[in-house]
Amino acid sequence: MHGALPESGPDTSSVAVQYSLPLDDHRVPLNELLGQSLQIEFAGVIRCTNCGRASKKSFNQGHCYPCFKKLASCDVCIMSPEKCHFEQGTCREPEWGEQFCMSDHFVYLANSSGVKVGITRGTQIPTRWIDQGATQALPIMRVATRYQSGLVEDALRQHVADRTNWRAMLKGNAEAVDLAVIRDELFQLCAKELDELTTRFGIQAIRRLDEIETVEIEYPVIEFPTKVSSFNFDKNPLVEGTLMGIKGQYLIFDTGVINIRKFTAYQVELRS
């Protein structure tokens, strides 16, 4: 089983998210199961999504420990791109780094549990925002490498959050805000830092985006929980209840919520 995946186009200012759950070689559409009683049972088997070996524990959303330690995609600089060490010659997989990190990245603002700053590759728009449960998102800068995007994010997060409060996100949609206004305020607050980065890397490497529209995102939710309690396959192999919604990486039941992405690589049986 892989995490519930959004299915939506990247080039629209309004997205109604369609989710599916990959099980073996097919996908189960989830939106049409809203309001139905479901059971998801962990079969006790975890297989690494990279090498396929059986593992007693999953690391970094689906990896066995050896793959977690050797893959560049699991390195600390993926979560903290300002710590990129590619130029030092110590990247775990230089060819992977060339392809995924030495490419254009977008710095964005998203409104999930409130406004936050983040970064993503263009191919991950709008998936990255959907994963975070954002109801609004706006790309504000385009930069030439992941490392540079991390430096821009580091400057901006002195004035705006860089994390999502997942419990607040699951209790309802954040109040709508004008992300373009917030973008302009951040540009003013961080003018010195951004100018220094532009001087350091060049005007073609650090580019502001002023004409892009805010993307509005709608999730399939019948009812949000008033109290958030979470399921964990490692503690209880059976999740059951009425599916009330899907938002971000979470399935929302009337009995609790589960971060389905966290349990990527777990083999489960879905029953309705």
pLDDT digits (tens, 9 = 90+) for 66-119: 999 999 999 999 999 999 999 899 999 999 999 999 999 999 999 999 999 999
Contact 163, 118 (CB under 8 A): no
Q: What is the pLDDT of residue 2?
A: 41
Per-residue pLDDT band for 26 (boundaries 50, 70, 90) equals confident
Q: What is the pLDDT of residue 5?
A: 53
Average pLDDT over residues 25-47: 94
Q: How far is CA 18 from the centre of its chain?
A: 16
Q: What percent of the chain has pLDDT over 70?
A: 96
Q: How much is the pTM?
A: 0.90
Give how far Cα 56 sits from Cα of 44, 48, 52, 239, Å: 9, 10, 13, 20
Q: What is the pLDDT of residue 25?
A: 79
Give how far Cα 146 sits from Cα of 31, 110, 143, 203, Å: 34, 18, 8, 16
Contact 15, 215 (CB under 8 A): yes
Q: How many CB atoms lie within 10 A of CB 206?
A: 23
Q: List CB contacts of 247: < 8 A, sequence separation 6 or more.
A: 133, 169, 170, 219, 221
Give how far Cα 32 sits from Cα of 21, 117, 144, 244, 258, Å: 12, 32, 40, 11, 18
Residue 62 and residue 108: Cα distance in Å, rounded? 26
Question: Could you tell me the residue ranges of all domains in the chain?
Answer: 17-68+219-272
